[in-house]
Structure 1
Amino acid sequence: MANVEPSAAAREALGVEAVTALVTEIETFKTQFDVFRFMKRLVERYFSRTFMVVNMPSVTSRELSPNSIITNWPADLLTEYDGAAMLTRSTILERLRRSSTPLQYDMDDAAAKEPSDNTSSVKALFHRFNMNRGAYFPVHDAGGTRGAVSLHGNRSAFSAAEMIELSYISIHVYNRLAQIRDMDVRTSDVLTEREIDCLNWTSAGKTSVEIAEILGLSEHTINHYLNRATKKLDAVNRTQAVAKAIRSGLIK
């Protein structure tokens, strides 16, 4: 989709009734693909180019891809971004960790305010994919997992009304995705007794070595169980797997 700068009239906010209709639609989604198609339409309506729904990366994360839930970012962009470990130097991520306030960004402004090799390389990368402006909307689900919904493109700044609308819509999108993943957990692969044991001990603060001693198994076997449980729960890491298992009632 080409980024054509909308006229002032075209960029008017949707309004309460239209946003309410969108939120009602979100509540009917059954799969992540339903949400993906909705986000593509939302991006077009707000004259943007791409979107991403992401879980908040941990302070030790070096890559964005494993934390992404759904996105239509170009694969080459993500590969280059993660390959250069740009996440570790992201000023946007730092702001999202410190605040729950939506924010807008402009790569040109950022590069002018904080000139450095890093900002220059990030600017060049996002310019190449026509994604040098956009907005991030901090969100969290019922279990307290934090994340963000973002729109990117070349359009001018979102109006205050648009930011309010997108923030409200983002909250519902993120929560619906969490509900869908929980439903998938209950209807797909069931955790084995051993996997549940390992998650329970992990929740209690035990390491793989300690769990191995408790259960009389090897550390390799414990890691296998935990990795398999993490995959079944569609979690980014063990900590998130434990949180999802608790929310789903699989462990106490």
Structure 2
Amino acid sequence: MMDSRTLSVLEICEAVLNCPDVPSLEAQLTNLSATIGFSALKALHVRRENSKTSYRFVSAHRDAGWQLQVGRSSPIFSDELIENAARQKTAFTKHDCAAGRTNNPTDDQTSASTVFVPTFDRCGLSGLIAFIGIPSDLSGVIINLLHLAGLYTSSRFAALLFEEATNPTDLTPREVECLKWSSNGLTSSEIAEKLGISRHTADWYLKEATQKLGAQNRTHAVMIAYRKGLII
């Protein structure tokens, strides 16, 4: 007989699959964290095109309200760890994960366990999710639950965050520039100061770019722009 936590995780996984947009996915990450106990999540997605392999990175932290953020890299995903994930083909745990430590005080500073969940498609490794800040004495049942949650979450990340826009992209240079600064973590006010425009104008450019890309919000727009190679 399944316990209440297992049932809760299964319900959350089902909800993740039915998430219509990025905010809904963020809400389910909040529920999943409260149920299992991790403090941060980082995800790597593999992109293969014309025999070339590249990576896209997403992160979310409990302290930041589980708002999904795109990034150019993540030190927790070393080449060695990615190769190990491709070989293991199942969830695995690392303790005292130094790879997650950086000089950035907002990044992961944890001595607890990190559970890595790899996902695969017909070409091989398609993604890797890290659940960070898990209590070190976690049981095999929790690892299995995280494996299940990672599989469901990864597929929904790919569908919501890295899908191609269905409409033609016709962004102006200014809209691309605003998206690029937004991807670096700048607010509308900071973008406006950089470009010598008003905050209202910066918001307008970002809103136009978001609509043209068929994105749910600014974060989603940045991720699609990365996916389409509009910003580097």
The bucket for the TM-score relative to the shorter chain is: 0.5 to 0.7
| Residue of 7, 20, 24 corresponding to 1:34 | 24
Instruction: Indicate yes or no: 2:154 matched with 1:163.
Output: no
1:52 deviates by 1.4
Cα distance between partner residues in 1 of 2:9 and 2:35: 12
Which residue of structure 2 aligns with residue 25 of structure 1?
15
Cα distance between partner residues in 1 of 2:89 and 2:26: 24
TM-score by length of 2: 0.53
Question: Gaps (5+ residues) in structure 2?
Answer: 171-212, 214-221
Which residue of structure 2 aligns with residue 249 of structure 1?
none
What CA deviation, in whole Å up to 9, does each residue of 1:206-251 have, x standing for no partner?
A: xxxxxxxxxxxxxxxxxxxxxx9x975752769xxxxxxxxxxxxx
Residues 48-67 of structure 1: pairs in structure 2 closer than 5 A:
48-56=38-46, 67=56
2:95 and 2:136 in contact (8 A); partners too: no
Instruction: Indicate yes or no: 2:86 matched with 1:106.
Output: no
2:164 and 2:224 in contact (8 A); partners too: no
Cα distance between partner residues in 1 of 2:16 and 2:33: 15
1:178 deviates by 2.3
1:130 and 1:154 in contact (8 A); partners too: no
- The answer to which structure has the higher strand fraction is 2
What CA deviation, in whole Å up to 9, does each residue of 1:115-155 have, x standing for no partner?
A: xxxx6xx47649x7432321001114688761012111162
1:166 deviates by 1.5
Aligned length: 165
2:117 and 2:130 in contact (8 A); partners too: yes
1:185 deviates by 1.9
2:115 and 2:134 in contact (8 A); partners too: no
Cα distance between partner residues in 1 of 2:89 and 2:151: 12
Instruction: Indicate yes or no: 2:128 matched with 1:148.
Output: yes
Which residue of structure 2 aligns with residue 190 of structure 1?
168
45 and 231 in structure 1: CA distance in 2 versus 1, 3 angstrom threshold: closer
The AA in structure 2 aligned to 1:170 is: G
- The answer to which structure has the higher helix fraction is 1
231 and 47 in structure 1: CA distance in 2 versus 1, 3 angstrom threshold: closer
Which residue of structure 2 aligns with residue 96 of structure 1?
85
1:105 deviates by 0.4
SS of the aligned residue for 1:38 comes to helix
SS of the aligned residue for 2:165 comes to helix
Question: Gaps (5+ residues) in structure 1?
Answer: 1-11, 111-118, 193-227, 239-252
Which residue of structure 2 aligns with residue 235 of structure 1?
227
> Which structure has the larger Rg over C-alpha atoms?
1
Cα distance between partner residues in 2 of 1:44 and 1:19: 10
Which residue of structure 2 aligns with residue 8 of structure 1?
none
Cα distance between partner residues in 1 of 2:83 and 2:128: 13
Which residue of structure 2 aligns with residue 139 of structure 1?
119
2:162 and 2:224 in contact (8 A); partners too: no
Cα distance between partner residues in 2 of 1:24 and 1:123: 29
Cα distance between partner residues in 1 of 2:77 and 2:10: 37
154 and 233 in structure 1: CA distance in 2 versus 1, 3 angstrom threshold: closer
Cα distance between partner residues in 1 of 2:126 and 2:224: 20
The AA in structure 1 aligned to 2:12 is: L
1:177 deviates by 2.3
TM-score by length of 1: 0.50
